[in-house]
A and B are shown apart, each in its own frame.
Chain A
Amino acid sequence: MKTVLAATAALVASASLASAQQLAPSPTLDAIKARGHIECGVHLGLPGFSFADDKGEWTGLDVDYCRALAAAVLGDAKKVKFTPTSVQQRWPILQSGQVDLLSRNSTITFSRNASLGLNFQGINFYEGQTFIVRKATNAKSAADLDGASVCVAAGSTEEKNASDWFLERNLKVTITNFQKNDDAIAAYDAGRCDAYTAGVGALAGQRVKLKVPGDHIILTQPISNDPQGPVTRWGDERWQLVVRWVLNGTIAAEMLGVTSANVDQMKASSKNSEVRRLLGAEGNFGAMMGLSNDWMYNAIKQVGNYGESFERTVGMGSTLKLERGQNQLWTKGGLLFTPPFQ
């Protein structure tokens, strides 16, 4: 096995020496190109983030990111296979190489980064944890939940966050941990718990699934800060580079005013050098990563920039109707930021 690997590496190395651009070996990219699609791990079913409709068609913010990635790497946004993963399955599925990446509203934390062999490649959603309660309980903030039963997905950051938060304030809640988010929300709906806790965005998505969504309110004050984004495993730096910069590219496109509607015109006639570099009209940024130079052009053309994706999946154009809030560009009062394409 080792000799085969070494031989392949040597072959790849000599081949790349011959070409103009020297690329670090990337087994993940090679495998994706060989099989013709990206394996993307997503949430089991969270409206607005990753949700399969009755035709098996996936939509959502996290799904859109994987489509943009497929457009950038393979030139076709449809060349993605989505693998739904539970809270428990997500890390082993990524670690074992069954998926190329996770785009699964998972919170970036220190211990996950340091001890699970995972890298977080940026932030595509700033989430804040809060609670959904029945209107009849008259709870206005999390502090009113003293004595309540709270349903939560076992092993999520929410489980520990909630426990820490109430302990710190000397409030007593009973936390009941379910294996899947869907089981927890079903038990909450059945009256087992007074509250269900998850991120603001996730709750907006889950509320749609309740029997009478209008009977419940989402408490506005978040108790935590949960930045979420695409996750890769350690190793294969070039693949990590692609994952990181496609995300940056969709944010940069919004910043630079490039949309799916005007991308052709921008590529042909924009005088802004960063736009020209982003879309491959100038320089060879795609080739530096081993992709075609119109990588971001394909992604924007087929999927749209971050803002378009946000409005369509979780924003005003969707059933979730979330404000941009922290997920607005930094120039407009939000936290979204991307390093320059230079």
Chain B
Amino acid sequence: MTRALALLNDKRVRDVVYQAALLLGLAALTVFFVRNASENMVKAGIASGFDFLWRNSGIDVPFVLTGYTRSSTVLDLFWAGVANTMLVTVVAMVLATALGFLVGIARLSSHWLLSTIAGGYIEFVRNIPLLFFVLFWYFGVIAALPAPRDSVSVFGVAFLNNRGLTIPLPEAPATFRWAVAAILLSWIAQALVAAWARRRKERTGQDTPVLAIGLGLVLVLPVLAVTWASLATGWDVPVLRGFNYRGGFVIIPEFVALLAALVTYTAGFIAEIVRGGIQAVPRGQTEAAAALGLRPGRILRLVTIPQALRVMIPPLTNQYLNVLKNSSFGAAIAYPDVVSLFMGSALNNTGQAIEIIAMTLAIYLVIGLAVSAFMNWYNARIALVTR
């Protein structure tokens, strides 16, 4: 009796008991929900389970990165949608960051016109719903582009019209794999050279012409590799026949419109984060750097930005997660992302709403957590090391 009481009074034991009880409760609740739903669905005559994933999908997708065709399975359709979501998200993250930095720095400029324009842009963007942006860009892009017969020809191999940008595809993609490998190799070499040059500078104080070597490695080599790859293969060049160009790969206007909407919208928020981050760096730091004779550009690059980044990373992570989630607005303009393909077409064809929505939620969760994990790692890496 006293032993049991003693156990009950032990804080560690109590904590373990409470947490175990909570966990069990949660598990029981989940089991209850799942069983309740499946029982009710059987009663209502609604099919359930995940068998439908291996059925033939029969849905045409106009923009595929994964090798999906209409005779693939519903699961392949899911992955095709996920790939499209990832593509637009990643590209939008990179471009929105670049544009956001430019606008944020412009906002702080002492040039009156520049900072006013940047300020106006930020206020405009932050106070307008994203759906408006998506539709504005979509109908803007379509309206701006010509019909297929009046296509804008890019050197006679790529064609731009309101069906998209049709680009030629290599007939032997293997040569491009070599080219990509060569480019990756040159990037690694560049990183090694930069690290070596830094150590040499610290040790001997001597400068290395990193820029020249870097240009050679990062620019000249890849250009050579791509040129070689292009010459070594035959090309599937699009040809105008009937309604539109045949052959090649089409970058659809929905992709461009969604990307433009995500980038212009998110850049407004990132600009404010950048401004806030830079202003969070104490004035004394810039003044000290100026007193040491550094020019404004170098002050920004060497003193202000590295310190500002520490303030900026956590809110930037939020914006990146928003880009991921906002990419689902593509469904409004027929961009074939995971929401449009899986929660739209596949759901309607199979009717298995619970399974499909659960899978879509899960994939957003997984990608979102991966983005967070990367940003947390980066945040830890650049954190101020205090000794």
A62 to chain B: which residues have CB within 8 Å? none
Which of B46, B340, B344 meets A117, CB within 8 Å?
B46
Q: How far in angstroms is the closest Cβ of chain A from B26? A: 23
Q: Is the CB of A146 within 8 A of B242?
A: yes
B253 nearest CB neighbor, chain A only: A192
- The docked-state distance in angstroms from the alpha carbon of A288 to that of B58 is 45
B41 nearest CB neighbor, chain A only: A117
User: Is residue B73 within 8 Å, beta carbon to beta carbon, of the partner chain?
Assistant: no
- The docked-state distance in angstroms from the alpha carbon of A95 to that of B244 is 42
B343 to chain A: which residues have CB within 8 Å? 88
Q: Is the CB of B348 within 8 A of A155?
A: yes
Which of A95, A117, A163, A194 meets B60, CB within 8 Å?
A163
Query: Which residues in window 58-112 of B have CB below 8 A to A?
Result: 58-60, 62, 70
A160 to chain B: which residues have CB within 8 Å? 58-59, 349
Q: Is the CB of A183 within 8 A of B332?
A: yes
Q: Is the CB of A190 within 8 A of B142?
A: yes
Q: How far in angstroms is the closest Cβ of chain B from A142? A: 13
Q: At the interface with chain B, which of A174-182, A196-204, A301-309?
A: A174-182
B379 to chain A: which residues have CB within 8 Å? none
B348 nearest CB neighbor, chain A only: A155
User: Is residue A323 within 8 Å, beta carbon to beta carbon, of the partner chain?
Assistant: no
A156 to chain B: which residues have CB within 8 Å? 348
Query: Which residues in window 99-117 of A have CB below 8 A to B?
Result: 111-112, 115-117
Q: Is the CB of A192 within 8 A of B162?
A: yes
Q: Is the CB of B60 within 8 A of A115?
A: no
User: Is residue A91 within 8 Å, beta carbon to beta carbon, of the partner chain?
Assistant: yes
Q: Is the CB of B347 within 8 A of A117?
A: no
Contact mask for chain B residues 318-333; partner A; CB cutoff 8 A; 1 contact, 0 none: 0000000000000111
Q: How far in angstroms is the closest Cβ of chain A from B93? A: 24
User: Is residue B143 within 8 Å, beta carbon to beta carbon, of the partner chain?
Assistant: yes
Q: Is the CB of A163 within 8 A of B334?
A: no
Contact mask for chain A residues 138-166; partner B; CB cutoff 8 A; 1 contact, 0 none: 00000001111101001110011001100
Q: Is the CB of B345 within 8 A of A154?
A: yes
- The docked-state distance in angstroms from the alpha carbon of A159 to that of B57 is 12
User: Is residue A87 within 8 Å, beta carbon to beta carbon, of the partner chain?
Assistant: yes
Contact mask for chain B residues 224-255; partner A; CB cutoff 8 A; 1 contact, 0 none: 00000000000000000111101000101110
Q: Is the CB of B46 within 8 A of A115?
A: yes
A186 nearest CB neighbor, chain B only: B139
Q: Is the CB of A154 within 8 A of B60?
A: no
A177 to chain B: which residues have CB within 8 Å? 59, 334, 336, 340-341, 344-345
- The docked-state distance in angstroms from the alpha carbon of A117 to that of B62 is 32
- The docked-state distance in angstroms from the alpha carbon of A149 to that of B147 is 12
A173 to chain B: which residues have CB within 8 Å? 60
- The docked-state distance in angstroms from the alpha carbon of A235 to that of B350 is 21
User: Is residue B45 within 8 Å, beta carbon to beta carbon, of the partner chain?
Assistant: yes
User: Is residue A283 within 8 Å, beta carbon to beta carbon, of the partner chain?
Assistant: no
User: Is residue B47 within 8 Å, beta carbon to beta carbon, of the partner chain?
Assistant: yes
Query: Which residues in window 187-231 of A have CB below 8 A to B?
Result: 187, 190-192, 194
- The docked-state distance in angstroms from the alpha carbon of A159 to that of B340 is 13
User: Is residue A273 within 8 Å, beta carbon to beta carbon, of the partner chain?
Assistant: no
A179 nearest CB neighbor, chain B only: B331
- The docked-state distance in angstroms from the alpha carbon of A266 to that of B371 is 73
How many residues does chain B have at the interface if contact means C-beta atoms less than 8 Å apart?
A: 44
Q: Is the CB of A190 within 8 A of B44?
A: no
User: Is residue B275 within 8 Å, beta carbon to beta carbon, of the partner chain?
Assistant: no
- The docked-state distance in angstroms from the alpha carbon of A156 to that of B60 is 13
- The docked-state distance in angstroms from the alpha carbon of A151 to that of B315 is 39
Q: How far in angstroms is the closest Cβ of chain B from A342? A: 30
Q: Is the CB of A159 within 8 A of B345?
A: yes
Q: Is the CB of B44 within 8 A of A194?
A: no
B350 to chain A: which residues have CB within 8 Å? 115
Q: Is the CB of B347 within 8 A of A88?
A: yes
- The docked-state distance in angstroms from the alpha carbon of A146 to that of B241 is 9
Query: Which residues in window 249-287 of A have CB below 8 A to B?
Result: none
Which of B43, B58, B252, B351 meets A112, CB within 8 Å?
B351
* Contact status of A155 and B58, CB under 8 A, knowing A176-B334, A191-B162: no
* Contact status of A147 and B241, CB under 8 A, knowing A88-B347, A191-B162: yes
Q: Is the CB of B344 within 8 A of A88?
A: yes
A175 to chain B: which residues have CB within 8 Å? 60, 62
Q: How far in angstroms is the closest Cβ of chain A from B164? A: 9
Q: Is the CB of A149 within 8 A of B44?
A: no
* Contact status of A163 and B70, CB under 8 A, knowing A175-B60, A190-B143, A234-B45: yes
- The docked-state distance in angstroms from the alpha carbon of A15 to that of B143 is 67
Q: How far in angstroms is the closest Cβ of chain B from A201? A: 20
Chain A CB within 10 A, most for which of B43, B250, B343, B351? B351
User: Is residue A92 within 8 Å, beta carbon to beta carbon, of the partner chain?
Assistant: yes
Q: How far in angstroms is the closest Cβ of chain B from A276? A: 38
A148 to chain B: which residues have CB within 8 Å? 242-244
B340 to chain A: which residues have CB within 8 Å? 154, 177, 179
User: Is residue A10 within 8 Å, beta carbon to beta carbon, of the partner chain?
Assistant: no
Q: Is the CB of A149 within 8 A of B243?
A: yes
Q: Is the CB of A191 within 8 A of B142?
A: yes
User: Is residue B210 within 8 Å, beta carbon to beta carbon, of the partner chain?
Assistant: no
- The docked-state distance in angstroms from the alpha carbon of A164 to that of B41 is 30
* Contact status of A147 and B44, CB under 8 A, knowing A175-B62, A178-B334, A187-B142: no
User: Is residue B353 within 8 Å, beta carbon to beta carbon, of the partner chain?
Assistant: yes
User: Is residue A233 within 8 Å, beta carbon to beta carbon, of the partner chain?
Assistant: yes
Q: How far in angstroms is the closest Cβ of chain A from B268? A: 26
B residues with a Cβ closer than 8 A to A are: 41, 43-47, 58-60, 62, 70, 138-139, 142-143, 147, 162-163, 241-244, 246, 250, 252-254, 331-334, 336, 340-341, 343-351, 353
A-B contact pairs, 30 of them (CB 8 A): A88-B344, A91-B351, A95-B46, A115-B350, A115-B351, A118-B45, A137-B243, A146-B242, A147-B241, A147-B244, A148-B243, A148-B244, A154-B334, A154-B340, A154-B344, A155-B345, A155-B346, A155-B347, A155-B348, A156-B348, A159-B345, A164-B58, A173-B60, A174-B163, A176-B334, A178-B334, A179-B332, A183-B334, A184-B334, A235-B44
Known interface pairs A146-B243, A155-B348; 10 further A-B residue pairs with C-beta atoms within 8 A, sorted by A's residue number: A95-B46, A111-B349, A115-B46, A115-B350, A154-B345, A160-B58, A160-B349, A164-B58, A172-B246, A177-B340
Report the 10 A-B pairs with minimum CB-CB distance, sorted nearest first. Answer: A155-B348, A117-B45, A115-B47, A154-B344, A147-B242, A234-B45, A117-B46, A116-B351, A175-B60, A148-B243
